A = this chain, B = another copy of it.
Amino acid sequence: MLDAAEAIMLEDGYAAVTSRRVEAETGLKVHYHFGTIDDLFVAVVNRRGEVNLALMADALASTEPLRAWWRLASDPRGSRLLVEITAAANHRPALQSEVASFAREVRRMQVQALERMLSEYGIDADEFPPALVATAMQGLAFAMTYDQASGFDTAQDEVASGMERFLDRLEAQRSGD
């Protein structure tokens, strides 16, 4: 049921996630298993949030943390879903706090990892505070994948390859010493 809701979001947007549509695709009764449509959305957010938290934790603990983080954050599917969920949260107060708490937790993990690792990457933490680097990573990844998904065609291949080269250099520097 949660899978179906996500699939509908990706295909036709969050507004298409209606009780009738979900019931038609799953054969299950939404209001029986969840009390409310809001509850369904909350469940989707919670599951996806937990998964993302785990993926981000793995990425930050991998041998090339920044690269793994970048790969995770620039996954087009994830970005599309994030857009839909945040857009839905914008008009569903019940979702707002859920989304916010996951966003906070992810950012906390990232900042904590950066505090430990920035110097290894040869980045001065005074000049580029962890919070700034984290927000930049997420924002850049989001902007790139979203522009791509929306067909804005803003030279995203150049952005992607430029970022790959930058990551090559950073990861080389880190493993270098």
Hey, which bits of chain A sit against chain B, CB under 8 A? 12-13, 15-16, 83-84, 86-87, 89-91, 96, 99-100, 103-104, 107, 111, 127-129, 131-132, 134-136, 138-144, 146-147, 150-156, 158-159, 162-163, 165-166, 169
The 28 sampled A-B contact pairs (Cβ below 8 Å) are A12-B91, A13-B91, A15-B15, A83-B87, A83-B90, A89-B150, A96-B150, A96-B151, A100-B152, A103-B150, A103-B154, A104-B154, A127-B165, A128-B162, A128-B166, A131-B154, A131-B155, A131-B156, A131-B162, A134-B154, A135-B140, A135-B144, A136-B139, A136-B140, A136-B143, A138-B143, A139-B141, A140-B140
Number of copies: 2
Bound form: Cα–Cα A136–B144 in Å = 8
CA distance A123 to B151 in the complex (A): 29
The answer to whether B100 and A132 touch across the interface, beta carbons within 8 angstroms, is no
Task: Tell me whether A147 and B111 are in contact (CB under 8 A).
Answer: no
- Which of A100, A129, A143, A150 has the most chain B CB within a 10 Å cutoff? A143
A interface secondary structure, majority: helix
Give the residue name and chain of the B residue nearest to A162 (CB). Answer: B132
Q: How far is the CB of A42 from chain B (nearest CB, A)?
A: 16
Report A125 CB to chain B, min CB distance, Å: 10
Question: Which 7 pairs between the two chains have the least Cβ-Cβ distance?
Answer: A139-B143, A139-B139, A132-B162, A87-B87, A131-B155, A107-B154, A139-B140
